[in-house]
Amino acid sequence: MEHYQPPAWRRSDPWYALNMAQMTLRRRENVAGDFYVDSTCIDCDLCRQIAPETFTQIGEQSAVHRQPETPGAEFAALKALVTCPTASIGTSRNHSAKAAINAFPELIEDNVYFCGFASESSYGASSYLIVRPEGNVLVDSPRFVRPLARRVADLGGVRFLFLTHRDDVADHKDWASHFGAERIMHYDDMGRAHAGMERVLRGREAVPIDHDLLAIPTPGHTRGHMVLLHRDRFLFTGDHLQWSDARQSLYASRSVCWYSWQEQVRSVERLLDYEFDWVLPGHGRRKGAPAPQMRQYLESCIARLKLIDHS
Ligand code: SF4
């Protein structure tokens, strides 16, 4: 059987050299055929978001439920392959992943992009790029790989690296030093790994970063968690708030609330002071809806969260 040969950049990248999907670890839940997921999957959900035609959740991991049958489905599956934080997606045939690699950052709407290339150290969190004439903003850190750094450079580089909280910082040092970016983080989430942050925010009041960027402290998931509001339209929510396709609602997760659930519910409630029509989370699904509809989603979410045990 012919085996997938990674392109030169992957072979020379030490991360990939150590992290290749392995046929011997192929999950038996995959349907037969070219693409597969191996048992190193950490169930981050990104492949299911990027290529739902191909990947689904079986048990507590992903698996291929249908092999790609069209060029579009294959392209999506390859984008999932390059995004997977643990290199758990493999193929038995040889493919060029060049187009999939160059697809990131991928436009979501207007000037906001999804970065792909998730990092295992942030548990496969999504990161985003805001492209602005005044200087771009990277929201949380993707894996630092040269092809993505080149594409980000083509889009104007990075002026600010906004870190929503301590868990999703990944390769922040590499991104900051490569682009001379100013990293922004909340004091209450800082530890030894975050030494050298260029801007440290304190307290519970919202802080304007620029005329179109507002940092809003949202303690709960962690003590120093923040969300970022851009142009009263795009709310980057880290691990504070996300959309669930299954529930068709916004929600916050009690089971991964590390600091204070009571505080987290209060922080979600404070978002009623703002207007936005996109929720762009680190984990979970993103959602776009007209602002009045988004407000209704938020109000219903708060009502449900208040019913959850605070102890
Ligand atoms: S992207 Fe990778 S780690 Fe995440 S769910 Fe898919 S196979 Fe698993």
Tokens for 259?
């600091």
Q: How far is the CA of 118 from the centre of ligand 1 (A)?
A: 10
Band (pLDDT 50/70/90 cuts) for residue 57 is very high
Q: How crowded is residue 292: how many other Cβ atoms within 10 Å of its Cβ?
A: 9
Alpha-carbon span 189 to 152, nearest angstrom? 27
Q: From the CB of 87, is ligand 1 less than 6 Å away?
A: no
Which residue stretches of 13-138 are H helix? 14-18, 46-50, 71-83, 98-102
pLDDT digits (tens, 9 = 90+) for 245-277: 989 999 999 988 999 999 999 999 999 999 999
Q: How far is the CA of 302 from the centre of ligand 1 (A)?
A: 30
Q: Are 102 and 145 in contact (CB under 8 A)?
A: no
Alpha-carbon span 268 to 252, nearest angstrom? 8
**pLDDT attached to residue 169:** 80
pLDDT digits (tens, 9 = 90+) for 157-185: 999 999 999 987 889 999 999 999 999 99
**pLDDT attached to residue 293:** 98
- Taking the CA of residue 50 as reference, the ligand 1 atom at the shortest distance is 1
Its pTM surpasses 0.85 = yes
Q: Are 261 and 254 in contact (CB under 8 A)?
A: yes
Query: What value does the mean pLDDT of the chain take?
Result: 92
High-pLDDT (> 70) share of the chain, %: 93
Q: Are 63 and 56 in contact (CB under 8 A)?
A: yes
